[in-house]
Structure 1
Amino acid sequence: MKRAVLLTLLLASGAAAQTRHNTNAPIDFGADTIELQDRANRAVLSGNVAVRQAEMSLNAARMTVNYTGQVVGGNPQVSRLDAAGGVVVRRPDQTARSQYAVYDLNRRVITMVGAVTLTQGGNTVNGGRLTINLDTGRAVIDGSSVRGGGTAAPGGTTTTPSGRVTGTFSVPKRN
């Protein structure tokens, strides 16, 4: 039986922890190529994909942008971003890295899987899956992932090689 390891982190401190991400801000993007698939309500971006929304950026080798089909102010309404290949999410106080990520704009949640690393200042946490709630700033990381380079476990999940969350927390310097 797989032993679940779950660590809930509120890495940000003070006012930064209370700052909500502006999920209503426009999403700007850049990529080497883009393929529009209008009938499927999606666009596939590839090659040095860079996405920015307010103070957050998301970079990957490839990304699929799903939209609802509704157009507001001449712009399609994006509902989900699926990123793959060297995914990096940067916020003013945090950087997260993984193999894959899904940004669900309706739920305002980013889920990252596959060799996840979350850093803030001198703190680093590693695991298989990271979920970031952009409304609350709460980040949850565990040792399992849906995809990735581990071993298969019951229920279709994959565990990291150790199946554990690991990391380093900095301590205040004393005089």
Structure 2
Amino acid sequence: MAEIRIRNKNERISGEAEVRSFLEKQNVLYEHWDTSKLPANLVENFSLTDEDKQSLLSVYDAEIRDLAGRRGYKTWDIIALSESTPNLPELLKKFEQVHTHTEDEVRAITAGRGIFIIKGDEATGYFDVELSAGDVISVPEGQPHFFTLMDNKAIVAVRLFIEPAGWVADPYDDPAFVK
């Protein structure tokens, strides 16, 4: 279940209703999908074959299509990152810079853990959203943020896009951001 840390207050928010309420106020969509429907071979599996990825998309087909229909997403895929991912440190450097997008950044976590650091409203400032299996988040287009892995250095997520080009980041230089 997702947990939030508001950086400027070092305050934590937990519990599905509380997390959802906070994120709604920051214009961030949050949902939770049922991970009990995953076949055993996909639970905490971070080295997915193409067949595994297709199976994962099939398991969550109804949820993906529902979300895509509500929000206008046209394409989706699976990303799997772990210590076995070639050039993982270089890849993470690309993600770990504050940026924006011209469309929402959507992730449905199916295994592992990750964290979005998002710029909230003026009173809130930057906050962390710690995600685990079942958590679904959509950071709105234009909202400064970045993503990184947590201590386990492993995640699998469904990514949804409007544009077929997929993930395209626009750097966002913010002197107020401190890692």
Choose between structure 1 and 2: higher strand proportion: 1
Structure possessing the higher relative contact order (Cα contacts under 8 Å, 6 or more residues apart) = 2
With structure 1 as the length reference, what TM-score do the two structures score? 0.27
TM-score (norm 2): 0.26
Larger Rg: 1
